């Protein structure tokens, strides 16, 4: 319907109405629309041309054409806006539905707990002593549910080697998975650091107190359920750490479902522990309510079923019922619930690495959230919302990312059946060098011949791992990426690039100080949630002397950077790059090198409100700039592990010189990283300069109470004659006191835990302020210490203090500590009420 200025001219082609509106014939509209698709805003010249060339339109005045196009553009905008509102509306509706479900579930949970509480209270207050069998049986354990249920004897008797047996395993797995996905079979805790907002619909939670580690996510994706299932079932496409997946058999189950027996191998994230593999049963089926579910669990001796393939270089891990549940929602989208629950056999890993294998958070990042993001990415690409980078389809760019990751993982792991063999060391054990003589490793068999023509040639990898203290992974990787010149050597980069072209090139010695070069980063693509970005790095070499002339040319690297998003706290970060030819062919061979930094959190670090109080003290005494409630990696005293791997080609003549160059290079990089780490660690060491300690009332108050109570009970000053009475100086005095001073909670029904310690106390217990609350007094004192405390306890309660004799206690790491004396006293608040117990361990030392 056109709004057009009143026309005076009559024309049969236009079908003039009673005056105001002019309608164009269908043919005219068709012609105009055709032009519109090519050119929505034609110039006046173009419009005139249009009228001349197109006979159907020749009777329309130029002004009318102009107006038509104006209106058409306006209509386009309106349509787009309406569609946008529709999409937002759908998303909000789905989110609403999700939230209401959760709300419903929580309400049920709360009312159930209220019922149980009431029931138990009632039991407690009934006449004591008359405990009958009935009341015992009705005691219900709620809350933390352990995955290790009493093994049901009927499992062992089931013949799980036939389809019926497998089906029953599958059905059980399904039930367990569902109870985790939408229920509370695992104690889920919302993961902090997830971006909130109406558009980013994804609720992620990690496990607390379940055996193994678990994470779950749910969100809305605008793809239809079957497509989502197809994407997720193809694990290697989204799970970067996945080396290979073999489906060994497929068995149909009732009503269109299938059961698959799958063997999966994963890459190890570091060089310090072996890779894991899984032998699982995967059950895909539709539920009565129309949702599609795929659940997977390991087949073990407990479940029964066929045994999987043997694997010598892998550690068999166990997948507990996990999977994904997809429900269709109006408008063609799906609501997706993902649960990952695994036991990675953390005990077979060196103690220092154990936190990595016990971290639900890292599991969430690498698997659960990665899966959700991948599906979202595909959804956005399908709907055309993602821009093409560098003129390429997103899928092609994604292939680059996958190949870079895979190549890096391959180098870090160095599997024998990939062709890797170790090369002898030069005496020092810090760098591992491996060589691979099989051609075609890095792009597929088709490159083998052109890439490495000569016999005895191959690829060499030099790798190393390092532990870092107090260095947040994201910060380090960001630094390495932005300041390449701080660690890279242009000569080495030039060698790598030249060998890509299989042109002869002298092997450089990695020079200290390197060769000056600039880098220019040209972004190629970023994932929708910006957790990963693919870019091209152009290295411009400058020749400062005649002999360097040959080296001064531009080189290109394809680089993948992930985990540096500021919004996600404490995850893994990675920088992987490979030299690439200027032509950037889609199938260009890639030999990646790079860095991976993984945080090593302690499992016991409290993640929620319970940590707040300690954190207040922490921020008071250590001057950190954390927000309250954030977990460890942005605070002090945490560790991370960095894995470095560099790959180079060599031919049969240059093998040894390449090996020595690689060793030297990686060694110098290790040195650079140590230097960088020192510079960027928020608090090098744990010493505190007295001037820079800000204070919070809570810390000052507590310290005042401690000191005052001591004087009150014992009649002596805590710090001798020059004891301060209050304020900052008292805080410093206590903090820096040579004896360990610790405070312990006085709860009647819970085991006492430490709530505060001075620096010496933290050193003695080998812990941090944040992890302090996980340390129980019972575990620290040895038996005679506990006995002494118990016998002196009434005295402490009455007169306020007591001295315990010399003894031995244990730090949180299990080290023995001997002390000459332990003074214990009640800490009173200002109103004389009991606050906590204070301990002072005099003259302590490690045994």
Partner 1 sequence: MERLNSKLYLQNCYIIKENERLRKKAQILNQENQQLLFELKQKLSNGSSNQGNNNNNNLSSSSSSASGH
Q: Which is nearer to partner 1, 137 or 417 (CB)?
A: 137
Q: Examine residue 624 and tell whether it contacts partner 1 (CB under 8 A).
A: no
Q: Examine residue 198 and tell whether it contacts partner 1 (CB under 8 A).
A: yes
Q: Between residue 136 and residue 155, which ones bind partner 1 under the rule CB under 8 A?
A: 136-137, 139-143, 145-146, 149
Q: Which of 166, 164, 155, 151 is nearest to 306 (CA)?
A: 166
Q: Examine residue 112 and tell whether it contacts partner 1 (CB under 8 A).
A: yes
Q: Examine residue 48 and tell whether it contacts partner 1 (CB under 8 A).
A: no
Q: How far is the CB of 117 from partner 1 (least distance, A)?
A: 6
Member of 10, 38, 53, 133 binding partner 1 (CB under 8 A)? 133
Q: How far is the CB of 296 from partner 1 (least distance, A)?
A: 19
Q: How far is the CB of 619 from partner 1 (least distance, A)?
A: 23
Burial class for 103, CB neighbours closer than 10 Å (0-12, 13-18, 19+): exposed
By the 8 A CB rule, do 591 and 442 touch?
Answer: yes
Report the C-alpha gap between 635 and 469 in whole angstroms: 11
By the 8 A CB rule, do 368 and 338 touch?
Answer: yes
Interhelix angle 26-38/62-125, nearest 10 degrees: 70
Q: Examine residue 83 and tell whether it contacts partner 1 (CB under 8 A).
A: no
Q: How far is the CB of 818 from partner 1 (least distance, A)?
A: 34
Q: Examine residue 330 and tell whether it contacts partner 1 (CB under 8 A).
A: no
Q: How far is the CB of 100 from partner 1 (least distance, A)?
A: 6
Q: Examine residue 234 and tell whether it contacts partner 1 (CB under 8 A).
A: no
Q: Which is nearer to partner 1, 9 or 121 (CB)?
A: 121
Q: Examine residue 78 and tell whether it contacts partner 1 (CB under 8 A).
A: no
**Binding segment toward partner 1, per CB under 8 A, in 183-191, 212-220, 631-639, 718-726:** 183-191
For 157, the enclosing helix (H) or strand (E) is: helix 153-157
Q: What DSSP character marks residue 387? A: P
Torsional sign, CA 89, 90, 92, 96: positive
Q: Which is nearer to partner 1, 185 or 600 (CB)?
A: 185
Q: How far is the CB of 196 from partner 1 (least distance, A)?
A: 8
Report the C-alpha gap between 412 and 80 in whole angstroms: 48
Q: Examine residue 393 and tell whether it contacts partner 1 (CB under 8 A).
A: no
Q: Which is nearer to partner 1, 199 or 554 (CB)?
A: 199
Q: Examine residue 209 and tell whether it contacts partner 1 (CB under 8 A).
A: no
Report the C-alpha gap between 480 and 489 in whole angstroms: 13
Q: Which is nearer to partner 1, 6 or 130 (CB)?
A: 130
Q: Examine residue 62 and tell whether it contacts partner 1 (CB under 8 A).
A: no
Q: Which of 362, 359, 269, 353 is nearest to 571 (CA)?
A: 362
**Binding segment toward partner 1, per CB under 8 A, in 92-100, 278-286, 536-544, 756-764:** 92-100
Q: Which is nearer to partner 1, 321 or 458 (CB)?
A: 321
Q: Examine residue 66 and tell whether it contacts partner 1 (CB under 8 A).
A: no
Q: Which is nearer to partner 1, 43 or 128 (CB)?
A: 128
Dihedral, CA of residue 580, residue 586, residue 589 and residue 591, to nearest 10: 60
DSSP string, 732-771: HHHHH-SSEEEEE---SSS--BEEEE-HHHHHHHT--TTG
Q: Which is nearer to partner 1, 274 or 628 (CB)?
A: 628
Member of 185, 217, 335, 617 binding partner 1 (CB under 8 A)? 185
Q: How far is the CB of 778 from partner 1 (least distance, A)?
A: 15
Task: Work out the angle at residue 123's Cα, subtended by the Cα atoms of residues 121 and 127, and round it to the nearest 5 degrees.
Answer: 120
Q: Examine residue 384 and tell whether it contacts partner 1 (CB under 8 A).
A: no
Q: Examine residue 329 and tell whether it contacts partner 1 (CB under 8 A).
A: no
**Binding segment toward partner 1, per CB under 8 A, in 118-126, 216-224, 254-262, 765-773:** 118-126
Task: Mention every residue, 6+ apart, whose C-beta is less than 8 A from residue 48.
Answer: 62
Q: Examine residue 847 and tell whether it contacts partner 1 (CB under 8 A).
A: no
Q: Which of 455, 181, 219, 518 is nearest to 320 (CA)?
A: 181
Report the C-alpha gap between 709 and 718 in whole angstroms: 9
Q: In whole angstroms, how far apart are CA 37 and each of 65, 69, 76?
A: 15, 11, 11
Q: Please count the residues of this chain forming the interface with partner 1, following the rule CB under 8 A.
A: 54
Burial class for 706, CB neighbours closer than 10 Å (0-12, 13-18, 19+): buried
Member of 11, 123, 446, 567 binding partner 1 (CB under 8 A)? 123
Q: Examine residue 679 and tell whether it contacts partner 1 (CB under 8 A).
A: no
Burial class for 649, CB neighbours closer than 10 Å (0-12, 13-18, 19+): buried
Q: Which of 258, 179, 247 is nearest to 214 (CA)?
A: 179
Burial class for 488, CB neighbours closer than 10 Å (0-12, 13-18, 19+): buried
Q: Examine residue 93 and tell whether it contacts partner 1 (CB under 8 A).
A: yes
Q: Which is nearer to partner 1, 49 or 96 (CB)?
A: 96
Report the C-alpha gap between 474 and 478 in whole angstroms: 6
3-class SS letters over 312-341: CCEEECEECCEEEEEEEECCCEEEEEEEEE
Q: How far is the CB of 457 from partner 1 (least distance, A)?
A: 59
Q: Which is nearer to partner 1, 50 or 181 (CB)?
A: 181
Q: Examine residue 787 and tell whether it contacts partner 1 (CB under 8 A).
A: no
Q: Which is nearer to partner 1, 148 or 393 (CB)?
A: 148
Q: Examine residue 629 and tell whether it contacts partner 1 (CB under 8 A).
A: no
Q: Which is nearer to partner 1, 117 or 798 (CB)?
A: 117
Q: Examine residue 545 and tell whether it contacts partner 1 (CB under 8 A).
A: no
Q: Which is nearer to partner 1, 382 or 610 (CB)?
A: 610
Q: How far is the CB of 127 from partner 1 (least distance, A)?
A: 10
Q: Which is nearer to partner 1, 324 or 735 (CB)?
A: 324
**Binding segment toward partner 1, per CB under 8 A, in 30-38, 109-117, 455-463, 784-792:** 109-117
For 650, the enclosing helix (H) or strand (E) is: strand 639-650
Q: Which is nearer to partner 1, 90 or 779 (CB)?
A: 90
Task: Mention every residue, 6+ apart, whose C-beta is less than 8 A from residue 124.
Answer: none
Report the C-alpha gap between 219 and 380 in whole angstroms: 14
3-state secondary structure of 615: helix
Member of 117, 383, 421, 518 binding partner 1 (CB under 8 A)? 117
Q: How far is the CB of 193 from partner 1 (least distance, A)?
A: 16
By the 8 A CB rule, do 294 and 229 touch?
Answer: yes
3-state secondary structure of 522: strand
Q: Examine residue 195 and tell whether it contacts partner 1 (CB under 8 A).
A: no
Q: Examine residue 121 and tell whether it contacts partner 1 (CB under 8 A).
A: yes
Q: How far is the CB of 839 from partner 1 (least distance, A)?
A: 25
Report the C-alpha gap between 822 and 800 in whole angstroms: 14
Q: Which residues does residue 460 pair with via DSSP β-bridges, in sequence order?
A: 435, 648
Q: How far is the CB of 149 from partner 1 (least distance, A)?
A: 7
Residues that bind partner 1 (CB under 8 A): 82, 85-86, 88-89, 92-93, 95-96, 99-100, 102-103, 105-110, 112-114, 116-117, 120-121, 123-124, 128-131, 133, 135-137, 139-143, 145-146, 149, 178-179, 182-185, 190, 198, 749-750
């Amino acid at each position: 319907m056109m709004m057009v200025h009143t026309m005076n001219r009559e024309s049969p082609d236009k079908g003039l109405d009673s005056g105001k509106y002019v309608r164009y014939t269908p043919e005219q509209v068709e012609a105009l629309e055709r032009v519109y698709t090519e050119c929505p805003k034609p110039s006046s010249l173009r419009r005139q041309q249009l009228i001349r060339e197109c006979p159907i339109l020749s009777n329309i005045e130029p002004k009318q054409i102009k107006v038509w196009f104006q209106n058409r553009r306006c209509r386009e905008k309106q349509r787009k806006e309406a569609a946008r509102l529709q999409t937002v509306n759908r998303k909000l509706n789905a989110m609403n539905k999700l939230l209401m479900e959760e709300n419903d579930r929580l309400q049920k949970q709360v009312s159930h707990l209220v019922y149980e509480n009431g029931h138990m209270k009632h039991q407690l207050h009934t006449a004591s002593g008359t405990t009958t069998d009935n009341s015992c049986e009705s005691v219900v354990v709620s809350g933390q549910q352990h995955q290790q249920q009493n093994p049901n004897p009927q499992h062992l008797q089931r013949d799980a080697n036939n389809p019926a047996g497998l089906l029953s395993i599958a059905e059980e797995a399904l039930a367990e998975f569902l109870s985790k996905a939408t229920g509370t079979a695992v104690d889920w805790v919302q993961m902090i650091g997830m971006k909130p907002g109406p558009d980013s619909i994804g609720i992620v939670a990690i496990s607390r107190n379940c055996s193994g580690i678990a994470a779950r996510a749910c969100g809305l994706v605008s793809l239809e359920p079957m497509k989502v299932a197809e994407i997720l079932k193809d694990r290697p496409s989204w799970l970067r750490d996945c080396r290979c997946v073999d489906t060994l058999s497929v068995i149909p189950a009732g009503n269109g479902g299938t059961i698959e027996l799958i063997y999966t191998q994963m890459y190890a994230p570091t060089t310090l522990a072996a890779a894991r593999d899984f032998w699982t049963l995967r059950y895909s089926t539709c539920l009565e309510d129309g949702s599609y579910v795929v659940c997977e669990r390991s087949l073990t001796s407990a479940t029964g079923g066929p045994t999987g393939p043997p694997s010598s270089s892998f550690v068999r891990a166990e997948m507990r019922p996990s999977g994904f549940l997809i429900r269709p929602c109006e408008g063609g989208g799906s609501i997706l619930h993902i649960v990952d629950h695994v036991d990675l056999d953390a005990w077979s890993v060196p103690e220092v690495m154990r936190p990595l294998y016990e971290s639900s958070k890292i599991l969430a990042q690498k698997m659960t959230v990665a899966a959700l993001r991948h599906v979202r990415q595909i959804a956005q690409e399908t709907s055309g919302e993602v821009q093409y980078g560098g003129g390429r389809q997103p899928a092609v760019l994604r292939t680059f990312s996958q190949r870079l990751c895979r190549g890096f993982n391959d180098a870090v792991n160095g599997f024998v059946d990939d062709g890797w063999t170790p090369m002898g060391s030069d005496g020092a054990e810090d760098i591992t060098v491996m060589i691979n003589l099989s051609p075609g490793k890095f792009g597929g068999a088709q490159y083998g011949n052109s890439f490495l023509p000569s016999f005895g040639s191959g690829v060499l990898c030099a790798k190393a791992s390092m532990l870092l203290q107090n260095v947040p992974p994201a910060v380090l990787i960001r630094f390495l990426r932005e300041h390449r010149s701080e660690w890279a050597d242009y000569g080495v980069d030039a060698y790598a690039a030249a060998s890509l072209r299989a042109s002869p090139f002298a092997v450089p010695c990695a020079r200290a100080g390197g060769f000056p070069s600039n880098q220019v980063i040209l972004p190629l693509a970023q994932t929708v949630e910006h957790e990963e970005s693919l870019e091209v790095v152009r290295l411009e070499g400058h020749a400062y002397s005649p002999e360097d002339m040959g080296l001064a040319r531009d080189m290109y690297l394809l680089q993948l950077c992930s985990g540096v998003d500021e919004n996600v706290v404490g995850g893994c970060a990675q920088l992987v790059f490979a030299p690439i030819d200027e032509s950037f062919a889609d199938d260009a061979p890639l030999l990646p090198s790079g860095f991976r930094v993984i945080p090593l959190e302690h499992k016991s670090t409290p993640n929620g409100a319970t940590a707040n109080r300690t954190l207040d003290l922490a921020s008071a005494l250590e001057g950190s700039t954390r927000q309250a409630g954030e977990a460890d990696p942005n605070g002090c005293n945490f560790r991370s592990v960095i894995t470095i791997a560099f790959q180079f080609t060599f031919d049969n003549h240059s093998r040894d010189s390449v090996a020595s160059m690689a060793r030297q290079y990686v060694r110098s990089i290790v040195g650079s990283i140590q230097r960088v780490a020192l510079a960027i660690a928020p608090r090098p060491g744990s010493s505190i300069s007295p001037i820079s300690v800000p204070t919070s009332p809570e810390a000052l108050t507590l310290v005042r109470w401690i000191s005052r109570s001591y004087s009150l009970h014992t009649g002596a000053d805590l710090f001798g004659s020059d004891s301060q009475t209050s304020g900052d100086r008292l805080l410093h005095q206590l903090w820096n006191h040579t004896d360990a001073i610790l405070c312990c909670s006085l709860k009647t029904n819970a085991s006492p835990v430490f709530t505060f310690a001075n620096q010496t106390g933290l050193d003695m217990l080998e812990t941090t302020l944040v992890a302090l609350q996980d340390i129980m007094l019972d575990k620290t004192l040895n038996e005679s210490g506990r006995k002494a405390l118990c016998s002196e306890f009434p005295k402490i309660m009455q007169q306020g203090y007591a001295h315990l004799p010399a003894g031995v206690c244990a730090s949180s790491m299990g080290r023995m500590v001997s002390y000459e004396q332990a003074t214990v006293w009640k800490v009173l608040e200002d109103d004389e009420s009991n606050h906590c117990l204070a301990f002072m361990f005099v003259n302590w030392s490690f045994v």
